[in-house]
Amino acid sequence: MCKATHQEKCEGGIPCEYCIRMKKHCQPQAVAKSGLTFVSHSVPQQRSKLQPQISDKPDSVYLKTFFLFLKRCEFTPEFANLGTDFLPLIQTCAPLREATVAIGALEISRAPSARSFDELQSPYHFALKSYSKSLTSLQLCLQSPDALHCQGVLWCTLLLGLFELMVEVSGGQWAKHMLYGTSRIFQLSGAGSRSDYLGSQSFETFRLLEGNRAILYGEDTVLSDYSCMDQYGMIASSPLDEILTFMIKISSLSKSFFDQIESIPEDLRQSHVDLDILAAKSCLFQYELQSWHSQSSVSIKSSGPYGKLALANYHAIQLFLCRNFTFYDCWDTRIIPVLTS
């Protein structure tokens, strides 16, 4: 055994430094056996609230997410409460179910946790596949003569357009869908398509989206046809409904505004009578808009967030109308709409 005492601790090695210095025979110390003790400690497993969803099929999870999406959307005051009435329609209309699943999957794909998925199994990839299935199924449904009277078809084309708006940043594909798809289907479906609660809500949602599309893209809309409005029995019942009517009117007025100016040679614009009439029409529109605001101030304040939205749209329309007159210098000698404090 190593001769190093506790004062002269062995530093290891054979021979050790102490034994070499003291010229003694060095024998290695016995190596202390090390032992490990394993302790088992169990903790009651806490079940996550998401556990039921994980065991569900993906399309069931995405469908649940779609209904949460409905509650967050506020296209109309009743839009968040559509779930109960909407579910039976989804169960009976295949293209509509795929469209709702596509939106639900797209919503989940925006969460940070969705990045951990494999690309081909990701919610975003699932959303695109469901969108494609819905579009194909809708095209088959439209071959039936009864398709235009089916609420599922109306809602499906509306939601597919909404999906395109959520996917594409520019909104160009959504605008085409609204103009050539959704607008046409609503126009052909007739008054019977909105005779019930779901039909009324689908048209209200379409009206909001289409009104915004028309004014954003400077285009006319089927909603500017008053016979179409009468056909659907549209009676303004809230400040938001009423301001949407003004949005539809200004989109139609703006389209004819620029078409008419461009049809007149530039050297004739200063004295052309058609532009006098156009300026007068625009002033009349502004007068009607401002009169509405004065008469609706009480109902706007009592309408909650939708009243605030109506007020914001009112100011936006005022700005939009007056800005149209800044693109040409032929209005200098005419009375035109102006912004007031």
Complete DSSP assignment for 200-238: HHHHHHHHHHHHHHHHHHT---GGG-HHHHHHTT----S
Residue extents of the structural domains in the chain: 1-29, 239-341
For the segment 303-307, the average pLDDT, to the nearest whole number, is 85
Return mean pLDDT, the chain: 81
What whole-number percentage of the chain has pLDDT above 70? 76
Nearest residue to 100 (alpha-carbon basis) of 172, 162, 18:
162
* Residue at 323: amino acid letter: R
Give the pLDDT band (50/70/90) at residue 48.
very low
Give the pLDDT band (50/70/90) at residue 144.
confident
Return the minimum-mean-pLDDT range out of 120-124, 159-163, 202-206: 120-124
Residues 6+ apart with CB under 8 A from 290: none
How far is the C-alpha of 306 from the C-alpha of 301, rounded, in Å? 9
How far is the C-alpha of 168 from the C-alpha of 191, rounded, in Å? 32
| Tokens (6 digits) for 60 | 């069931």
* pLDDT at residue 54 tops 50: no
> What is the pLDDT, as a whole number, of residue 53?
42
> What is the pLDDT, as a whole number, of residue 3?
54
Greater confidence, 207 or 26? 207
pLDDT digits (tens, 9 = 90+) for 187-199: 887 766 666 788 8
- How far CA 208 is from CA of 60, 68, 144, 212, 298, in Å, comes to 29, 21, 28, 6, 23
For the segment 63-81, the average pLDDT, to the nearest whole number, is 83
At 303 the three-state DSSP class reads: coil
At 81 the three-state DSSP class reads: helix
For the segment 149-153, the average pLDDT, to the nearest whole number, is 87
